[in-house]
Amino acid sequence: MKKNLRLISRIDVKNNFVIKGIQLEGLRKVGDPLLTAKKYYEEGIDEILFIDAVASLYERNNLFKIIENASKHIFVPLTIGGGIRTLDDIEHSLDSGADKIAINTQAIKNPDFITEASRVYGSQAIIGSIEAKKRGNSWEAYIDSGREETGIDAINWAKKLEFLGAGELLITSIDRDGTKKGYDIELIQLISNSVSIPVISSGGAGCPEDIISLSSETDTSGVAVGSILHYDDYSIRQIKAKMINNNFNVRK
């Protein structure tokens, strides 16, 4: 039986620009969020994540307008993340055209927020987002776009997020983000084995082979890519062809 796999574009946004850094730092402008998203939609991307890279830091979210415009042209699932703190923020996100809301910092600060949010809007709309960094033999969850450590074990936190009501997890390896060195397979393996909700893996994709290694060795449901599309290293068509050739069930 072929395993389902989604190819997801991750668009990190700062002040209305698509930005890309390395290990969530040294952010560089690489394009316009709406034009970038439209291009990926036309080329057949399965889903798009818009993440406000600095929202938690400044306690604001610039993405509502971007999502509102995106939803006029793009008809695949859209996720918003970064700086979502209240039920009003979620309501505003859904009204703007987002389907799913990724929550990291506020979940750590107030875990009940995940339960409340999934009760009101359904767990299918709530993605528990974890930014993890390796410390010795374990991984620690970070907040504020990888700037603040929390002392919380990322694997335990993943289980907790499922228990609290998240319908899906977005796991970002801070160590691998923007490095093009491949996903943190060990981290994804441990987390996907610990939960029974879908897991989206993010951070490190440098070539289609990285997606194949990750998806063969773990039970990831979706793979997020940033740099390799932003820098035109590979096209969506090329990446999907590789996935299909390796026997994954992928939307053509």
Partner 1 sequence: MKKVCVLDYGIGNLKSLYNAFKILDTTPVLTSDHKKIKDSDFLILPGVGAFANAMEKLKKIHLDEAIYHFIDQGKPFMGICLGMQMLFEYSEEFGVTDGLGLIKGNVIKIPSKNKKIRLPNIGWNKIIKSNTELSNNSILRNIRSEDYVYFIHSYCCKPQTNENVIANTVYEGVKLCASVQKNNIVGLQFHPEKSGKVGFEILKNFIKN
In the list 121, 157, 183, 248, the residue contacting partner 1 (rule: CB under 8 A) is 121
Query: What is the nearest approach in angstroms of partner 1 to the Cβ of residue 188?
Result: 14
In the list 83, 204, 222, 226, the residue contacting partner 1 (rule: CB under 8 A) is 222
In the list 23, 71, 189, 235, the residue contacting partner 1 (rule: CB under 8 A) is 71
Cβ count within 10 A of residue 193: 12
Q: Which of 55, 57, 59 is nearest to 16 (CA)?
A: 55
Q: Which residue has the tokens 């690489």?
A: 30
CA quadruple 71, 102, 229, 210: dihedral sign: negative
How many angstroms from the chain centroid is the CA of residue 12? Answer: 9
In the list 59, 136, 151, 252, the residue contacting partner 1 (rule: CB under 8 A) is 252
In angstroms, rounded to a whole number, what is the distance separating the alpha carbons of residues 93 and 66? 10
User: What is the contact mask toward partner 1 in residues 4 to 23, using x (rule: CB under 8 A)?
Assistant: x-x-----------------
Query: What is the nearest approach in angstroms of partner 1 to the Cβ of residue 63?
Result: 14
The footprint of partner 1 on residues 173-192 (CB under 8 A) is: none
Q: Which residue has the tokens 């930005």?
A: 19
Interface with partner 1, residue 162, by CB under 8 A: no
Query: What is the nearest approach in angstroms of partner 1 to the Cβ of residue 57?
Result: 27
Interface with partner 1, residue 41, by CB under 8 A: yes
Beta strands in 76-147 (DSSP E): 78-81, 100-103, 126-135, 138-143
In angstroms, rounded to a whole number, what is the distance separating the alpha carbons of residues 35 and 18? 10
Q: Which is nearer to partner 1, 31 or 198 (CB)?
A: 198
In angstroms, rounded to a whole number, what is the distance separating the alpha carbons of residues 145 and 127? 16
Cβ count within 10 A of residue 122: 11
Query: What is the nearest approach in angstroms of partner 1 to the Cβ of residue 104?
Result: 19
- How buried is 1 (Cβ within 10 angstroms: 0-12 exposed, 13-18 middle, 19+ buried)? exposed
Q: Which span sits near partner 1 by CB under 8 A: 66-74, 205-213, 223-231, 233-241?
A: 66-74
**Phi, psi of 148, deg, nearest 5:** -115, 130
In the list 32, 43, 99, 186, the residue contacting partner 1 (rule: CB under 8 A) is 99
In the list 25, 29, 87, 95, the residue contacting partner 1 (rule: CB under 8 A) is 95
Site residues (vs partner 1, CB under 8 A): 1, 4, 6, 41, 44, 46, 68, 71-72, 75-77, 94-99, 121-125, 167-168, 196-198, 219, 221-222, 249-252
